[in-house]
Amino acid sequence: MRTKYVAGNWKMNMDKAGAVALASELVEQLKGVDNKFMIAPPFVYLDAVAQVVKGSNIILGAQNIAATENGAHTGECSAAMLKDIGVETVILGHSERRYEFYETDKLINIKVRMALEHGLDVVLCIGELYSHKVAGVTEAVCEMQVKGGLDGLTKEQLAHVTIAYEPIWAIGTGKTPTPEEANSIHKSIRASISNLFGADVAENIKILYGGSMNAKNGKDLLAQSDIDGGLIGGASLKSETFVPICKYTV
Ligand code: PGA
């Protein structure tokens, strides 16, 4: 049985006081709760939040990293810098990065490798557009993104990778696939990973669901055999809506 992993993607929300307050509430309320937790605040609040979550059971995540090492790259933030302030994980390949910032599978793969080389864990996001779903190519799109994002990695590196399946039409819309539909996509993603890296890697890798997960629908989604947790956007911005999802143990 894979332990559940619940992650909060705060995106470009909050101010410093709010970020510190929310992190403090989560540290308090998740004390002793036996799942894996991560929060990913905006870059500018990472250092402040790092002080709050230090020594707790909450992992500090970033929402992106530079594809290059330190140096003349205006506006970027390197893996080494994030590591330096206590970041342990990075979310890569989020659909908002793919579609708003034109990130390709190739670029995402460079970032995945960069993160792993610097000792950061990775949450690799994949997922289909509504038009893909209608065309019946969801599994093929996910397989392509898994292949592209994880290209060239070793089996050993896969121990530091989590996949987040996020149907793009479900993100921030209040719409979700049924738990059974989501589970069936998760199974096909696991099968792709098995083909690429072997059955043992596929059995152990966590595949999270993301897209309008909340305290109401979370329990049924997390009860599915192949849904190993959630990547939560909107509902991660308040402890009242995030903590109940974190506490579901199935
Ligand atoms: P949402 O976002 O929970 O607000 O739909 C999820 C995500 O984009 O990771």
**Full set of structural domains in the chain with CATH:** 5-248 (3.20.20.70)
Q: Is 117 a catalytic residue?
A: no
Going residue by residue through the chain, which has 250 residues, state the pLDDT in tens, using 9 for 90 and above: 789 999 999 999 999 999 999 999 999 999 999 999 999 999 999 999 999 999 999 999 999 999 999 999 999 999 999 999 999 999 999 999 999 999 999 999 999 999 999 999 999 999 999 999 999 999 999 999 999 999 999 999 999 999 999 999 999 999 999 999 999 999 999 999 999 999 999 999 999 999 999 999 999 999 999 999 999 999 999 999 999 999 987 5
Asked if 166 is an active-site residue, the reply is yes
Task: Give CA–CA dist 29/84, Å, rounded.
Answer: 27
Asked whether 123 and 208 are in contact (CB, 8 A), the reply is yes
Going by the DSSP 8-state scheme, the letter that residue 178 receives in this structure is: -
What are the Cα distances from residue 195, in Å, to 2, 188, 198? 20, 11, 6
DSSP letter assigned to residue 171:
T
Q: Annotated catalytic residue: which of 139, 166, 186, 240? A: 166
Q: Are 153 and 98 in contact (CB under 8 A)?
A: no
DSSP designation for 57? S
| Cα-to-centroid distance, 96 and ligand 1 (Å) | 10
- What is the rounded radius of gyration, in angstroms, for the C-alpha atoms of the chain? 17
Question: 12 alpha carbon to ligand 1 midpoint, in Å?
Answer: 12
What was the pLDDT predicted at 2?
86
Ligand 1 center to residue 222 CA distance, Å?
15
Bridge partners of residue 164, in order along the sequence: 125, 208
Report the C-alpha gap between 125 and 142 in whole angstroms: 10
Q: Which atom of ligand 1 is least distant from the CA of 9?
A: 9
For 3-29, b/e burial (b = at least 16 CB within 10 A) is: ebbbbbbbbeebeeeebbebbebbbeb
Among 139, 32, 48, CA closest to 86: 48
166 lines ligand 1 (CB under 6 A): yes
Residue 81 token pair: 């810098």
Q: For position 1, what pLDDT does the model report?
A: 73
Report the C-alpha gap between 237 and 155 in whole angstroms: 34
